[in-house]
Structure 1
């Protein structure tokens, strides 16, 4: 999708219809279709420092009038099958800054649509790590929309333990001070993501895609607390299936086998 300057709706207050936690809402109608990954040690320090500096005001990411999003967003190396009650599947969310200035306070938003509309927010377990802090994970909290979409905001809820598949992964949690990712100009930040589903999750087919919002954090000392933002990126579709961990049952095949075999929105590039 190549949004026009009007379609981009850069003021996220115009996206507030869903009223999600953390002041970020992303309607499904705006997250329709598709839009090199590399870790760099030189980016780690700038990423961590930039996130810490994201506060009352920061420069906007990209040109508000541009037709293309400034942050290219790709789901990479993602598994195509998860087992309910099983271990975490690991994948990467790559954020590439196509502008000539650093973009700060970036918060991905993951949207899950299951074909049977049986998936619930408390069945999803998802954690992400900050570049430069691999031993620290943040747990994503989830909301269910009136269209039965599960939406998780990378806003830094309760920090999760470094490993294990038995952690509680539903809604709830508190802000642990995560102020978003910083992506230097012309660079890529790869966010490590771990996702699993609880043992009571039924078999089914799920489609996921990610949006990226740049928050405008308001200083609470100045009476802030509301956090507005701009919609600055989106990924293509990532399709996967959930198998029943107890019975081994898997969903019946889709009409198009080619679609099942597509495990990421774009071909994964070699990772160092």
Structure 2
């Protein structure tokens, strides 16, 4: 069974690391001097009063702010996309807390997680933008990062503020278990007071996800477009059936010539057939006369042969 990931250093050590880091990050250069005359110096025997805490009372035994991490996923593939969770800040006192900066501490069992492998951003509602958190390594091989770049969160008395957070790890991060803790530091000038701490948030850095196989699309053969200049196909004509001859009173009717073929769009053929019949009509009487003359010659020859 794999050993459980180590919890970050104890409360006192975590507080010291958070306050030290916050003091380093909060330290800013003094503003440029204005042209106005300087105020008279205070007497040497008068000591400047220490700034009073702006969140809770000094006599309070517990932290003025209660914080916890919730809705955090358990698995983070190395090199994967951001995964979202929330950091909840709840004011347990009767006075408002301002200038609150969360500080996250990540501790891994193998002590091989490097600060540059952590990708974490929080949403600054006042600035309406996501801000990146830069991490630093501690002497205990932990990664510590403060929410800076803005004036801090304001938590009204007896109210709760929820901070959206998104986390990811680089592809070269070693798969292992990690414990995340959140400490809250209130900025007081160039210093800070530790005003809250969250419970443990345990997560696992998994191996990189394999690349999905590329979809193999079967190329489709496009239809061949019709040629608009090609002539339309000519329909094949169908020959009409020949009429059947019928018997008349004087014997069987002579066979009739087959009708001329008619082709759609070809008026020449019917015209040729009609012209042939019209030319044969004047020859009919001559044919009849010749037949009658032949019959008379036949009868005369028979009479001459009788004794």
Scaled by the length of structure 1, the TM-score of the pair is 0.59
Alignment pair present for 1:234 and 2:197: yes
Counterparts of 1:13 and 1:114, CA distance in 2: 17
Q: Secondary structure at the match of 1:122?
A: helix
Scaled by the length of structure 2, the TM-score of the pair is 0.53
Sort the Cα spacing of 1:244 and 1:20 in 2 relative to 1 into closer, same or farther, 3 A. farther
Give CA deviations for 1:58-102 in whole Å, capped at 9, x if unaligned.
852111222110100010100111011101110000000111111
1:49 aligns with none
More helix by share: 2
CA contact (8 A) 1:207 1:239 kept: yes
1:52 aligns with none
CA contact (8 A) 1:13 1:228 kept: no
Offset, 1:130: 2.0
Give CA deviations for 1:113-164 in whole Å, capped at 9, x if unaligned.
001111000000000012355x4011111110010010010112xxxxxxxx
Q: Secondary structure at the match of 1:210?
A: strand
Q: Which has the higher contact order (CA 8 A, sep 6+)?
A: 1
More strand by share: 1
Sort the Cα spacing of 1:82 and 1:68 in 2 relative to 1 into closer, same or farther, 3 A. same
Which of 125, 128, 131 aligns to 2:122? It is 128
Counterparts of 1:65-104 in structure 2, within 5 Å, are 65-104=59-98
Counterparts of 1:71 and 1:123, CA distance in 2: 30
Alignment pair present for 1:188 and 2:160: yes
Sort the Cα spacing of 1:231 and 1:132 in 2 relative to 1 into closer, same or farther, 3 A. same
Counterparts of 1:148-187 in structure 2, within 5 Å, are 148-156=141-149, 178-187=150-159
Paired positions, count: 177
Structure of larger gyration radius = 2
Counterparts of 1:1-272 in structure 2, within 5 Å, are 15-16=19-20, 21-23=24-26, 60-131=54-125, 133=127, 135-156=128-149, 178-217=150-189, 227-246=190-209
CA RMSD of aligned residues (A): 2.8
Alignment gaps of 5+ in structure 2: 1-10, 28-50, 212-307
1:29 aligns with none
